[in-house]
Structure 1
Amino acid sequence: MMDKYHPGYFGKVGMRYFHLNKNKYFQPIINLDKIWSLVGESARVEAAKDTSSAAVIDVTQHGYFKVLGKGQLPEQPLLVRAKFISKLAEKKIKAAGGAVELVA
């Protein structure tokens, strides 16, 4: 009832952005030439020694959601888990003897 006599009753309180559209498709990206840096050099050497199994790299655990096809991959099998992947990246991974798994 007596609020209009207290400080802060009149005037604007900060700026508002009424039609703000938040990014619905937040996709941090990583290229193929940097994908082995996520697991380290020792994991790559171990994967090169054991040819019967493929190394598994889950890029979502490292904060990346999309894999792009820039760069070259070594000729060893690799399983990449990502939310999004480009056609060129998928082609290069399969050419190196690997596989791609999409996660939700």
Structure 2
Amino acid sequence: MNSEVFQRFFQLDSYVKLIKEERTMYDISLKRKWDAEAVRMYQEGLEKQLEEAIREAKKAEKEAKRVSITAKVEGIAEGEYKKAIETALRLKRWVYL
């Protein structure tokens, strides 16, 4: 008698015994409960999506910083290389004068 099947049967029996007005009120109450649960689940889903988006944004920001630092280092190295070439060309011209 304690199984879920019997419990559900007794609930249905209680529902059937309600008068039409009580049934309507019960149905409205049950619908509101389901709606509130659906809204809560939707909000949880949105919160999870927001958290994931924040994690992705932070990850992208770190990658952008890494790329930016790498680009700066490469730019500095290229600038130093060009400066060395210019210096060598000036010295070469000076020697041949």
State TM-score, norm by structure 2.
0.25
Would you tell me which structure has more strand in proportion to its own residues? Answer: 1
Structure with max Cα Rg: 2
State TM-score, norm by structure 1.
0.24
Would you tell me which structure has more helix in proportion to its own residues? Answer: 2
